[in-house]
Amino acid sequence: MLLTFASKSQEFPSRIVCLSDEASELLYLLGEQDRIAGVSGFSRRPPEVRSKPRVSTFKDANFEAIEKLDPDLVITYSDVQAEITKEAIHRGLPVLNFNQRNVSEIFEFIELIARLVNQQEKGRQLVAAYQSELEKIAYAAAAFNWRPRVFFEEWNDPLISGIEWVEELIELAGGEPIFPEFRKQRKAKDRVVEPEQIVQRNPDVIIASWCGMKVDINAICSRPGWDAIGAVRNGRVYEVPSSHILQPGPASLTDGIRELHRILKDVTSSAPPPGCS
């Protein structure tokens, strides 16, 4: 985490520019949406956020527009926004860059943002509610008569397997990720897999979520040699919208895991494949 916040005349920031969706959604959930001065063009949650000035894509920002908003805090996310963060610092803007990659770090992010806007108790309540939701889903998934082996496709070219929080949520929802050795890799380039590796590991389910782009299930099923994969043969290839599962914040802990659980519950209502314990 990189924090260069310095308040101007008040104790807490009042004009926040959120350049990733989870930050703006969280501020709405904390009842602090009036502090949001600008957002990313990819911000969708809640729908009301679309009324806020849009000042960036995920990798590029309009700094002239940002500076006109006179922000006292800019929130960025991960190494993907490292150049945006660097430029903001060079321009003298106060910046918070968070790099949450697993469920525990998402909870830390929620509590930190809550502290920054003086809503510590609401932040704790949100975390407690999300933890309770995850526990209920894990309890329900424990009743499955088998646990499907899952390939989560985070990107299609090159093929990228799921980031850590996604793999954790798949396990809680009742599945078994097929590339557990890559889950701790924090950079996408370190989670690249070859098509042949997926064929060899033969997942029971494929769940795809391409960041900012609709998944083409027919294209997935038509890949050379993939007709040998159980998930493809049995019609178990699914999409979860990236705004639900690839957002490292409230969305993945609510809509994201619910959709994973719904898919896996449907799959496990049928008989397990031969040799599956």
Contacts of 169 by beta carbon, 8 Å cutoff, 6+ apart = 103, 134, 245, 252, 253, 256, 257, 260
**pLDDT band at residue 115, thresholds of 50, 70 and 90?**
very high
The pLDDT of residue 165 is 98
User: What value does the mean pLDDT take over residues 174-195?
Assistant: 94
The pLDDT of residue 212 is 83
The pLDDT of residue 1 is 44
* Model pTM score: 0.92
Q: Are strands 95-98 and 2-3 parallel, antiparallel or unpaired?
A: antiparallel
User: What value does the mean pLDDT take over residues 193-199?
Assistant: 98
- For the ranges 3-7, 103-107, 152-156, 220-224, which has the lowest average pLDDT? 3-7
Mean pLDDT of the chain: 94
Quote the CA–CA distance of 100 and 33 in Å, as a whole number: 22
Given a cut of 90, whether residue 66 has pLDDT beyond it is yes
